Amino acid sequence: MRMPALALAAVAGRRKTTIELAQAIEKSGFAGVYCASFGDSLGLCLSMAHTTTTLRFGTSIAPIYFRHSFDMAQSAAYIHEVSGGRFVLGLGVSHGPTHSRMGVAAGKPLSDMREYIGKIRALAPQVGELPPIVLATLRTKMVDLAVEVGDGAVWANASRSHMLASLAHVPAARRDAGFFVGDMIPTCIDDDREAAANVMKRVLTGYVTLPNYRNYWREAGYTEEMDAIEAALAAGNRDGLSALMSDRWLSDATLYGPRAEVLAGLEAWFAAGVSTPIVVPSSTRGGQLKAFEEIMAAFA
């Protein structure tokens, strides 16, 4: 059984517990830990550099508009060095609502990302060797940029059926040379398939409100679902969004249901070309810690 990586975030009040969880994940043989932007992903990565020995880990992602390129380069080089090269720097532009909440004036994603990475790489003689840099991607232009200036690409909530089309933009020679291909996959294991599906719908509700995600899912073949969701949003009917999330769409973007079904779905993600599936655990029975307990039991 091939092991996925796991997504992890340090929640206020449980940061020491989160570090202990990362150590347990390492002992369980998972492929790595990748940290979301909330909860200080770089801070958690620094802690894992000091408290684990073999675990691969990284940010997925650190938003480029929240840190000056010099600050990001220094932190990335430091973590890369003290971890012995186990760190991956995942960078992204985040989303419009987050920019507004932070008071950030975001520019053009493609040109800003190209410039930001260029500045980071130019600082290597000063800050030290840099880790691999992976770009958060959805649609093909950002995939192309990841090939141009990065060492990998990571999706979140991608459609499995669309991955082959997306990865057609990554030359085979780059993938053979270790180009990182990851996807953050919302996951819920429960014999009650309907209950697990409802959890996944709640997880994805915030994402379907974002235009860039709806445009991606249209590209992936879910025009009818996205048009219906957009109409509901325009009418102020957010409570009705879950009813518009088709089983076909949900099963293509998440893993849910009994253990055997989830494990089979994970193998399908590997077969689709995602070399590092990143399971994002949720539970029908509790919060983050319960979800990790269930995921780790499923892969024991």
Q: Where are the domains of the chain?
A: 5-190+255-298
- Write the single-letter amino acid at 260: A
If you search the block for the tokens 């550099």, which residue do you land on?
Answer: 49
d(CA 210, CA 215): 9
Out of 3.30.1490.20, 3.20.20.30, 3.20.20.70, 3.40.50.970, select the CATH number for domain 5-190+255-298. Answer: 3.20.20.30
Q: Do 27 and 48 contact (CB within 8 A), yes or no?
A: no
pLDDT tens for the 300 residues of the chain, in order: 899 999 999 889 999 999 999 999 999 999 999 998 888 999 999 999 999 999 999 999 999 999 999 999 999 999 999 999 999 999 999 766 665 666 777 778 999 999 999 999 999 999 999 999 999 999 999 999 999 999 999 999 999 999 999 999 999 999 999 999 999 999 999 999 999 999 999 999 999 999 999 999 999 999 999 999 999 999 999 999 999 999 999 999 999 999 999 999 999 999 999 999 999 999 999 998 999 999 999 999
Our separate counts of H helices and E strands in the chain read 15, 10
Got the DSSP string for 109-171?
A: HHHHHHHHHHHHHHTHHHH-PPPPEEEE--SHHHHHHHHHH-SEEEEES--GGGHHHHHTTS-
